[in-house]
Structures are given as C-alpha cells and as structure tokens.
C-alpha cells in the first residue's frame, strides 16, 4: 500500500429532513464527495425519497493523507441545473483518530448547512479505512 494515501470505503446511506426553508424537499437529490479540488464520487439521483432520500451507494476512495476534510454536498437536480441544498466538511480525524479495530466501520451522521449556516437536514454515511 501507499503510505501517502488513505484507502476508504464510503457508503452514502441516506439523508433526513432535507428542506428549502420551511418547505420539505420534494425529489431529485444526489450527493457529491470531494476533497479540495479532487472529485471522488457522485451518487445516483433519488427520485422518490422526497425530504428523506436513500442512496445506499458504496464508493472506494483514495484520499491523500494531507487532506483534513472531505466535503459532502447534497444537491438537487432542477430544470435550471444542479443546486446545492446543504453540505458538511467532514473532518478526517472523525474516523482516523483513536482506537478502532482493523477495518472498523464508522457510522456517522452530520448536520447539513447551506452557505449561510442555516440547517438543511442530516446526512447519514459509513466509512471504513481499509488496511
């Protein structure tokens, strides 16, 4: 293995309470995963989950060890293009610090916020650092 990289298995599970202000989100949501300028993954579009979409999509990600955060963005597809609903910067230390057995799966949930810091829902995912 390459010591300069972390090899991750990330599963984007679902989201909860996605909203546009006081209105629940209707449909056509997807997730993008990136660190810095490097794009890692994009889920398929959930067309039925409304404000509680489910993806359950697994991705293998090669992450440089110098990266401190992974950006998770929930977007919705509209007639005018893709619009960000909410995002979170996931600290890499949330799943690399402390004791965990080899190949331990971390189930994580984070609050999604828009660019103004307003709460837009919750994202649920799992991450396993591969040995």
Q: What is the pLDDT of residues 85-126, one digit of tens each?
A: 999 999 998 888 765 666 889 999 999 999 999 999 999 999
Q: Where are the beta strands (DSSP E) in the chain?
A: 5-16, 19-20, 23-24, 29-35, 38-42, 54-64, 69-78, 81-91, 105-113, 119-129
Q: Which residue has the tokens 């979170």?
A: 88
* pTM assigned to the model: 0.90
- Confidence band (pLDDT; 50, 70, 90) for 3? confident
Q: Shortest CA distance to 14 belongs to which of 89, 108, 96?
A: 108
Architecture of domain 5-130: Sandwich (2.60)
Give the SS3 label for residue 94: helix
The domain limits of the chain are: 5-130
pLDDT, tens digit, 9 for 90 and up, residues 51-89: 999 999 999 999 888 999 999 999 999 999 999 999 999
Mention every residue, 6+ apart, whose C-beta is less than 8 A from residue 103.
Answer: 128, 129, 130, 131
How far is the C-alpha of 86 from the C-alpha of 88, rounded, in Å?
7
**What mean pLDDT do residues 6-22 have?**
92
């Amino acid at each position: 293995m390459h010591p300069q990289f972390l090899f991750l298995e990330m599963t984007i599970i679902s989201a909860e309470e996605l909203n546009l202000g006081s209105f629940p989100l209707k449909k056509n949501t997807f997730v993008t995963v990136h660190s810095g300028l490097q794009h890692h993954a994009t889920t398929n579009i959930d067309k039925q989950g409304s404000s509680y979409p489910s993806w359950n999509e697994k991705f293998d990600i090669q992450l440089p060890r110098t990266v401190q955060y992974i950006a998770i963005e929930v977007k919705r597809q509209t007639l005018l293009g893709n619009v960000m609903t909410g995002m979170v910067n996931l600290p890499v230390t949330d799943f690399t610090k402390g004791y965990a057995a080899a190949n331990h799966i971390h189930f994580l949930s984070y609050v999604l916020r828009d660019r103004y810091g307003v709460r837009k829902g919750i994202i649920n995912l799992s991450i396993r650092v591969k040995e």
